[in-house]
Amino acid sequence: MFQPTPMLSSILLSTFCLCASACAAAFAAPLPSPVVETIEGRRVESLTIRHPAAKEVVVFEGGSRNTIDKWGTVLGQLGSEASVFAYNRPGYGDSEPATTPRDGRTIVEELRRVLRHKGLQPPYVLVGHSLGGLYMQLFARAYPDEVKGLVLVDALYPRMVRKASEFPFMTRLAGQLAFSRSVWREIEQIDATGEMILALPAIDDKPIVRLVNQPTSNTAIAVDFGAFRMDETTRS
């Protein structure tokens, strides 16, 4: 069984705690402002906190429609223990939309090139929320030697979401009207991205922390708009 180093255990535990609760704002270090740079001919918005003594880089990948600011105080707090990187995918925030495909493999490769451009070398601790969690699972399976661990925050998993062509007509229509073209192009590739993950070897030797939001209110109503496969095997 894999045994994480004390430093990695501390980073995973800190990330777990901070992602689970953003209530400790008073302990957050001052957060630098995101910067916009031209990387491979396209504007990319990102935020980097460098910790000279840290070996690992904690890389954050947001969910669908989520931008850097949605991580709240987590980035600044974790920056006291590790180097931290967060960015906006193409078409999010001030990042320029991309003409490349929006499947997970393309997004992972673009992220790796941005990390290299920033001089942020592996090993990485990958943190992904929702759709970002799906991308981070693909990253870890495709490049296991670069990854020390994962923190999956309400993540999507392979085959959890149906093919977009199988969504009810009204769900497809509402999605195309409500979401930007960049976001909808990602949604169209969720199922394909899941299949890419399943085609790669498992990563049972990596520490994985899973955070799942379970509403306790008796008024909470589960709504999937016909887009999800309601099967527990997709969450394993």
pLDDT of residue 142: 98
Residue 80: the pLDDT is: 86
Residue that has been written with the tokens 């001030």 in this structure = 94
Look up the pTM and report it: 0.87
Contact criterion met (CB below 8 Å) for 172 and 164: yes
Predicted confidence at residue 25, as pLDDT, reads 45
What does the buried/exposed string (b/e) look like for 93-128 if buried means 16 or more CB atoms within 10 Å of the residue's CB? bebbbbeeebbbbebbebbbebbeebebebebbbbb
Q: Is 187 helix (H, G, I), strand (E, B) or coil?
A: helix
**pLDDT score for 233:** 60
Q: What residue has token string 């290299």?
A: 116
Q: What is the pLDDT of residues 131-186, one digit of tens each?
A: 999 999 999 999 999 999 999 999 999 999 999 999 999 999 999 999 999 999 99
Answer whether 62's CB lies under 8 Å from 47's CB. Answer: no
- Give the contacts of 49 (CB within 8 A, at least 6 positions apart): 29, 31, 32, 75, 76, 78, 79, 83, 84, 85
Of the two residues 12 and 161, the one the predictor is more confident about is 161
Distance CA 191, CA 95 (A): 24
CATH (one of 3.30.420.270, 2.60.40.1180, 3.40.718.10, 3.40.50.1820) for 6-213+221-231: 3.40.50.1820
What are the domain boundaries of the chain?
6-213+221-231
Question: Do 85 and 61 form a contact (C-beta atoms < 8 A)?
Answer: no
Binned at pLDDT 50, 70 and 90, residue 2 comes out as very low
Q: What is the mean pLDDT of residues 48-66?
A: 95
